[in-house]
Amino acid sequence: MNIEILDTNFQQIFFVESYESFIWTERYNRAGEFELYLHMNSSYLDYIRQDNYVTVDDSETVMIIETIEIITDFEDGDHLKVTGKSIE
């Protein structure tokens, strides 16, 4: 699944090439949500920002980034957990 990050003008600014976990949930009667979990890279924070958007290639749904959490793990290193919901 190809994941793209869009800026607030809906212009593509970043393509997520590798991630550890990605959950994309679409719903008919209410907002869907997503959760992206990836190994921390400080350059990601230049693109993955609150209020930017996330799209995937096999869906027409657009999701907005609501929370960004840096998770520190001494054994596995730092990770980034990004969550949000659909914009309908």
List per-residue pLDDT tens for the chain, 88 residues long: 899 999 999 999 999 989 999 999 999 899 999 999 999 988 899 999 999 999 999 999 999 999 999 999 888 899 999 999 999 7
pLDDT at res. 6: 97
Can you read off the two tokens belonging to residue 77?
């290193």
Could you tell me the sign of the dihedral formed by the alpha carbons of 68, 42, 64, 38, in that order?
Answer: negative
Could you tell me the sign of the dihedral formed by the alpha carbons of 58, 45, 53, 30, in that order?
Answer: positive
Sheet holding 3-6, edge to edge: 12-16, 3-6, 53-56, 63-71, 79-86, 33-39, 21-25
Are 1 and 58 within 8 A, CB to CB? yes
